[in-house]
Each structure stands twice: as C-alpha cells, then as structure tokens.
Amino acid sequence: MPKPLNVIVACTENRVIGRDGRPAWSLPEDTAFFHTQTAGQIVVLGRICFETWPAAVRDGRRPVVVSRRRDLARPGVAVAPSLSVALEIAETLPGEIYICGGQKIYEETLALPASRPLRLYLTLLHAEIPGDRFFPDWRQQRWTEISRRESADKNFRYTFLALDRIPT
Ligand SMILES: NC(=O)c1ccc[n+]([C@@H]2O[C@H](COP(=O)([O-])OP(=O)(O)OC[C@H]3O[C@@H](n4cnc5c(N)ncnc54)[C@H](OP(=O)(O)O)[C@@H]3O)[C@@H](O)[C@H]2O)c1
C-alpha cells in the first residue's frame, strides 16, 4: 500500500493560493501551523515554491522538488521531473508525505484516483482576494471532516480544516 498523501494549503473563498510568485496575504498563525505540521516530514513541492521557501530543508524536512531542472539536487534535496516520480521517491524516504503546491501539483494530486488515501489540511481564509494561482475545487469531491477550528487575526477570519477524502 502506498503512503497516504497529506495535502496542505491555505486558500481564500475564491480558491486563490498566491499572486506574483508569493503568498497573496500574511497569516502568521497559518505559517506557524504549516511549519509545525511539515517539520520532520517529506515535502513535495514545485520549483517556485522551493525557491521561495529556503526553510524547506530545515527542521528535518525532506524536500522532493518537482522540476525538469537537475541542478537543484543536493544532499537532502531530491528532484523529480513529474509528480508521479516525486511520489515514487517519497515512498523510499522516512516520514509522512505532505503535498505543498503549487497549483499544478495540487491539481494533479486531487486528480489521483479517489482510492488513494488523501487528507486535506485546508486553511480557508474567509475573504476574496485577487490572485493568479488557485487551488482546485475540492468541494467537487466528497470529504469527511476530521477537525475544524475557527480563528482570526486583525485582518482576516479563517478556519483550519482537516478533511479525509472519501474513497470510491
Ligand atoms: N497558499 C498556499 O498554501 C500556497 C501553497 C503553495 C504555493 N502557493 C503560491 O503558489 C505560487 C507558486 O506556485 P506555482 O504553481 O506558481 O509554482 P510551483 O508549482 O511552485 O512551481 C512551478 C514549477 O514547478 C515545476 N512543476 C510544477 N508542477 C509540475 C509538474 N506537474 N510536472 C513537472 N514540473 C512541474 C516546474 O518547474 P521547472 O520550470 O523547473 O521545470 C514549474 O515551472 C506562489 O504564489 C505561492 O505563494 C501558495
């Protein structure tokens, strides 16, 4: 049996995840959650995410970067030309697999057969913000809610959700 996949993302009500190669907002509580959740684990991420997150290699994380470039590989950093190869590499590494984006990687992951165990850690930001990268429409799939926690800061209200995809 392959390892279950954990997808971790923060998105707005209009499913925006980023703009101009950066996050489209600042949410310190969510950033802290993301860092804690992924520490010591395998993080599968696209090249732009990797380049903009130097801390990916800290705290015992094992990055597997999806890129056609080969020059990114170094001790502790694996590089794969596709998501499927990245997942094959991740199976050989210790720890849980966290899919950390960006857009295409999230799309391909949610398009995997519903028989593949998948947990979604979704921080849903209750706002509509302009952006150029989006999370796929997870609401089109069937989920069991594992946990929910409401929170807020001086700018936003947001909800931490953990959802398990219902296998078909
Ligand atoms: N809110 C959140 O939780 C969250 C999470 C992640 C990202 N983001 C945001 O999303 C944006 C970055 O994501 P992005 O979608 O623009 O880029 P990305 O996925 O990080 O990187 C894109 C690059 O990764 C490689 N790649 C990605 N998918 C691939 C695939 N299926 N097969 C082969 N190669 C693939 C390619 O690299 P090469 O060109 O090197 O071949 C591609 O040019 C930023 O705005 C970031 O802040 C937000």
Q: Which numeric CATH code is attached to 1-39+105-168?
A: 3.40.430.10
Which residues of the chain does CATH 3.40.430.10 include?
1-39+105-168
Neighbours of 67 (CB within 10 A): 19
pLDDT band for position 109 (cuts 50, 70, 90): very high
Residue of 108, 133, 156, 158 to test ligand 1 pocket, by largest number of atoms within 8 Å of CB: 133
CA of 49 to the centre of ligand 1 (A): 6
Which tokens is 59 given?
A: 């705290």
How far apart, in whole angstroms, are the C-alpha atoms of residue 167 and residue 68? 32
Residue of 19, 30, 37, 48 to test ligand 1 pocket, by largest number of atoms within 8 Å of CB: 48
Q: Which pLDDT score is estimated for 54?
A: 84
CA of 70 to the centre of ligand 1 (A): 16
Q: Do β-strands 16-18 and 42-46 pair in parallel, antiparallel, or remain unpaired?
A: unpaired
Asked whether 63 lines ligand 1 (CB < 6 A), one says no
Asked whether 163 lines ligand 1 (CB < 6 A), one says no
What confidence tens digit (pLDDT) does each residue in 31-75 have?
Answer: 999 999 999 999 999 999 999 998 899 999 999 999 999 899 999
pTM for the whole thing? Answer: 0.98
Asked whether 82 lines ligand 1 (CB < 6 A), one says yes
Residue of 17, 79, 108 to test ligand 1 pocket, by largest number of atoms within 8 Å of CB: 17
To the nearest whole number, what is the mean pLDDT of the chain? 96
| Residues in the chain, total | 168
pLDDT greater than 80 at residue 12 = yes
How far apart, in whole angstroms, are the C-alpha atoms of residue 47 and residue 9? 16
Q: Is 35 helix (H, G, I), strand (E, B) or coil?
A: helix
Asked whether 31 lines ligand 1 (CB < 6 A), one says no
Q: Which pLDDT score is estimated for 58?
A: 94
